[in-house]
């Protein structure tokens, strides 16, 4: 048996699809794009071709690049804003509730479809039809709903019930799907079949036309033909963060997450942590201190700087401090308890690594007619609109916490990882990196160990597996701490693959149904 690669994802069909492409001779990007297309079918409450994301990929020979296909603010060419279809919906998480805003005016210009196609065009090896075929088959023939996805579908049911096309995706026989049920999406299957054939350009045009027709000003939305014409995925130079013997490559501005991860790594160096007993009170207090510094950076105006002065973010993670920063600029907003995001990581046997994170938000409650594609509600999420809703100038690239990451030793990929989880993405990835690179924990333990998050003056943490006295020590230092008795999806979902001493391996985050498949032939 020979190993062709390894993939870590948050859903079994997604991981199996990527491994299948690796066995057929595809590279890490082929596997990633095929897996992500499948995720739009089988992880439909989290990601869709009406969403957006980012991917980092590369190898020691060709180098590393990041493709940013997140959303832009719509409204180019509008003389005056129309009457908006924009409304609050309350989602019940059991212990708490949260309000999200949905409707057609919650939809930003999505980049996921053209982003995946551009990624494959730039770095894939296999024909597009082979890459698209598995996702089309799952959509046409049906797939088995995982426990994790069934739970998330139940949470966003109030949003899904807002229109008949979206309700048909979530309640195909009049009820919410349960784990083990079999679902299909024949409309999406037809679209994907055409996308993988000779009519790909026609399908893309059909997609954009439908978006403008049904999410434009006449229907209460903001997306215009000028928005569509102006949109294109952007190749960016990854943010490079030296860290001991390693180099951490991640999402640069205008993404928010990569720079915050970099500030955390800088803080860990400055505080000289890493020698404490793992999961002891000393270890967790030290990590909480690092997370507090990261939160403080965001409160000091980090988000406002992303567009205005991106070079200052690179200076910050390079260790030069906070030149000219002021607390008056504002920063973090409330916590998104769901964090409807999903992540896939791949390393192939030829030494290519790739990591992709994408989201549909919670979805806006409306779909593209006849295509089976639920469209995002990025304009209705507090955490990515810290200045308030509909404040961004049309055409502005929206910021995100999504941070697909590759760690190098020399020029060779050592790790590929990322996470879902809204604002907790930065904390989840940072802790996984510290667990692996500083505390030298085994891969699965590093990914699934108890996790913390700090936002402002608040601490959240999981108590499972903590050392004696650790819970009491954290609560003394953070009297208003929120303690989770069991691991929770609130803390993200890090999916990580690694090349450790020539052995490909992976770890999936059990908080979000993580799955690892090693592709062997």
pLDDT at 302 over 90: no
Percentage above 90 pLDDT, the chain: 83
Q: Is 341 known to be catalytic?
A: yes
pLDDT for 337 equals: 59
CA–CA distance, 397 with 68 (Å, rounded to integer): 10
Would you call 58 helix, strand, or coil by DSSP? strand
pLDDT at 474 over 90: yes
Q: Tens of pLDDT along 347-376?
A: 999 999 999 999 999 999 999 999 999 999
Burial class (CB in 10 A: 0-12, 13-18, 19+), 141: exposed
Burial class (CB in 10 A: 0-12, 13-18, 19+), 61: exposed
Max intra-chain CA distance, the chain: 64
pLDDT at 326 over 50: no
Would you call 356 helix, strand, or coil by DSSP? strand
Contact 302, 294 (CB under 8 A): no
Q: Which residue has the tokens 């200076």?
A: 315
pLDDT for 233 equals: 98
Q: Tens of pLDDT along 17-28?
A: 999 999 999 999
Gap between the terminal Cα atoms of the chain: 6
Q: What are phi and psi of 372, to 5 degrees?
A: 65, 30
pLDDT for 265 equals: 96
Per the DSSP assignment, residues forming a β-bridge with 343 are 357
Per the DSSP assignment, residues forming a β-bridge with 365 are none
Burial class (CB in 10 A: 0-12, 13-18, 19+), 184: middle
Please report which confidence band the pLDDT of residue 172 belongs to, taking 50, 70 and 90 as the band edges.
confident
Please report which confidence band the pLDDT of residue 510 belongs to, taking 50, 70 and 90 as the band edges.
very high
pLDDT at 81 over 90: no
Please report which confidence band the pLDDT of residue 445 belongs to, taking 50, 70 and 90 as the band edges.
very high
Would you call 407 helix, strand, or coil by DSSP? strand
CA–CA distance, 445 with 451 (Å, rounded to integer): 11
Q: What is the DSSP string of 495-510?
A: EEEEEETTEEEEE--G
Contact 229, 109 (CB under 8 A): no
Kindly list the distances between the CA atom of residue 500 and the CA atoms of 23, 146, 404, 416, 446, in Å, as whole numbers in the listed order: 21, 30, 19, 12, 14
pLDDT for 329 equals: 32
Name which residue leads in pLDDT, 300 or 483.
Answer: 483
Please report which confidence band the pLDDT of residue 327 belongs to, taking 50, 70 and 90 as the band edges.
very low
Q: What is the DSSP string of 83-148?
A: ----EEEEEE-SS-EEEEEESGGG--B--HHHHHHHHHHHH--S-HHHHHHHHHHHHHH-EEPPHH
The angle that helices 28-42 and 128-141 make with each other, rounded to 10 degrees, is 20
**pTM: predicted TM-score of the whole model, two decimal places:** 0.95
Q: Tens of pLDDT along 372-402?
A: 999 999 999 988 887 889 999 999 999 999 9
In the numeric block, which tokens belong to residue 216? 């434009």
In the numeric block, which tokens belong to residue 253? 């501005």
pLDDT at 320 over 60: no
Mean pLDDT value across residues 69-91: 92
Q: Which residue has the tokens 């949109």?
A: 231
Q: Which of 17, 42, 341, 405 is catalytic?
A: 341
How many CB atoms are located within 10 Å of the residue 350 CB? 12
Mean pLDDT value across residues 395-423: 95
Contact 372, 188 (CB under 8 A): yes
Mean pLDDT value across residues 457-474: 96
pLDDT at 325 over 80: no
Mean pLDDT value across residues 203-224: 96
Please report which confidence band the pLDDT of residue 334 belongs to, taking 50, 70 and 90 as the band edges.
low
Name which residue leads in pLDDT, 109 or 422.
Answer: 109
Name which residue leads in pLDDT, 197 or 334.
Answer: 197
Would you call 231 helix, strand, or coil by DSSP? coil
Mean pLDDT value across residues 142-151: 95
When mean pLDDT is compared across 56-60, 313-317, 342-346, the lowest value belongs to: 313-317
Interior angle at CA 505, CA 501 and CA 508, nearest 5 = 145
Q: Give Cβ neighbours of residue 55 (< 8 Å, ≥ 6 apart).
A: 32, 66, 67, 69, 115, 119, 354, 355, 356, 357, 404
Element at 59 (helix H, strand E): strand 52-59
Q: Mean pLDDT in the chain?
A: 92
Contact 94, 86 (CB under 8 A): no
Q: Give Cβ neighbours of residue 84 (< 8 Å, ≥ 6 apart).
A: 103, 105, 220, 221, 222, 390
How many CB atoms are located within 10 Å of the residue 52 CB? 31
Q: What are phi and psi of 520, to 5 degrees?
A: -120, 150
Per the DSSP assignment, residues forming a β-bridge with 55 are 67, 356
CA–CA distance, 297 with 326 (Å, rounded to integer): 10
Q: What are phi and psi of 481, to 5 degrees?
A: -60, 145
Please report which confidence band the pLDDT of residue 322 belongs to, taking 50, 70 and 90 as the band edges.
very low
CA–CA distance, 343 with 39 (Å, rounded to integer): 10
CA–CA distance, 364 with 166 (Å, rounded to integer): 9
pLDDT at 324 over 60: no
Q: Tens of pLDDT along 82-120?
A: 899 999 998 877 666 788 999 999 999 999 999 999 999
Interior angle at CA 148, CA 143 and CA 150, nearest 5 = 60
Q: What are phi and psi of 306, to 5 degrees?
A: -55, -45
Taking the CA atoms of 390, 393, 396 and 402 in sequence, report the sign of the dihedral they define. negative
Q: Give Cβ neighbours of residue 129 (< 8 Å, ≥ 6 apart).
A: 196, 197
Mean pLDDT value across residues 181-210: 93
């Amino acid at each position: 048996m020979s190993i062709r690669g390894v993939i870590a994802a948050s859903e079994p069909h997604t991981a199996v699809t990527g491994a299948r492409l690796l066995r057929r001779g595809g590279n890490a990007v082929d596997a990633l794009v095929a897996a992500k297309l499948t995720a739009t079918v089988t992880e439909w409450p989290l990601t869709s071709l009406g969403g957006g994301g980012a991917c980092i990929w590369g190898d020691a020979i060709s180098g590393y690049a990041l493709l940013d296909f997140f959303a832009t603010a719509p409204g180019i060419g509008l003389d005056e804003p129309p009457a908006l279809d924009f409304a609050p919906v309350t989602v019940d998480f059991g212990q708490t509730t949260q309000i999200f805003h949905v409707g057609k005016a919650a939809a930003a210009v999505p980049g996921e479809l053209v982003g995946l196609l551009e990624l494959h065009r730039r770095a894939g090896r296999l024909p597009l039809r082979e890459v698209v075929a598995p996702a089309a088959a799952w959509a046409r023939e049906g797939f088995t709903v995982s426990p994790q996805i069934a739970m998330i579908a139940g949470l966003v049911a109030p949003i899904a019930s807002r229109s008949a096309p979206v309700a048909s995706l979530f309640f195909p026989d009049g009820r919410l799907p349960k784990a083990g049920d079999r679902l299909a999406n024949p409309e999406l299957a037809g679209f994907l079949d055409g996308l993988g054939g000779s009519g790909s350009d026609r399908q893309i045009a059909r997609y954009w036309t439908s978006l403008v027709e049904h999410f434009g000003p006449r229907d209460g939305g903001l997306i215009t033909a000028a928005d569509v014409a102006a949109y294109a995925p952007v190749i960016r130079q990854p943010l490079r963060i030296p860290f001991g013997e390693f180099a951490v490559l991640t999402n640069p501005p205008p993404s928010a997450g990569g720079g915050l991860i970099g500030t955390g790594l800088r803080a860990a160096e400055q505080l000289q942590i890493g020698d404490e007993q793992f999961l002891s009170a000393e270890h967790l207090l030290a990590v909480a201190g690092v997370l507090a510094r990261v939160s403080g950076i965001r409160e000091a105006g980090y988000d406002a700087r992303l567009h205005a002065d991106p070079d200052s973010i690179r200076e910050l993670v390079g260790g030069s401090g906070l030149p000219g920063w002021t607390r008056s600029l504002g920063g973090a907003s409330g916590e998104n308890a769901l964090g409807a995001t999903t992540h896939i990581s791949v390393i192939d046997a030829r030494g290519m690594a790739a990591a992709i994170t994408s989201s549909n938000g919670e979805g806006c409650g409306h779909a593209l007619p006849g295509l089976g594609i639920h469209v995002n509600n990025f304009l209705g999420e507090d955490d990515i609109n810290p200045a308030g809703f509909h404040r961004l100038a049309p055409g502005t690239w929206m910021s995100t916490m999504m941070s697909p990451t590759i760690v190098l030793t020399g020029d060779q990929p050592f790790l590929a990882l990322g996470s879902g989880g809204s604002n907790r993405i930065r904390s989840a990835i940072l802790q996984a990196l510290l667990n692996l690179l500083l505390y030298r924990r085994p891969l699965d333990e590093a990914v699934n160990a108890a996790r913390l998050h700090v936002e402002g003056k608040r601490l959240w943490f999981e108590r499972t597996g903590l050392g004696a006295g650790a819970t009491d020590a954290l609560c003394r230092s953070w009297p208003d701490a929120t303690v989770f008795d069991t691991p929770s999806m609130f803390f993200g979902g890090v999916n990580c693959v690694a090349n450790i001493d020539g052995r490909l391996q992976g770890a999936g985050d059990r908080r979000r149904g993580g799955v690892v498949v090693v592709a062997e032939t």
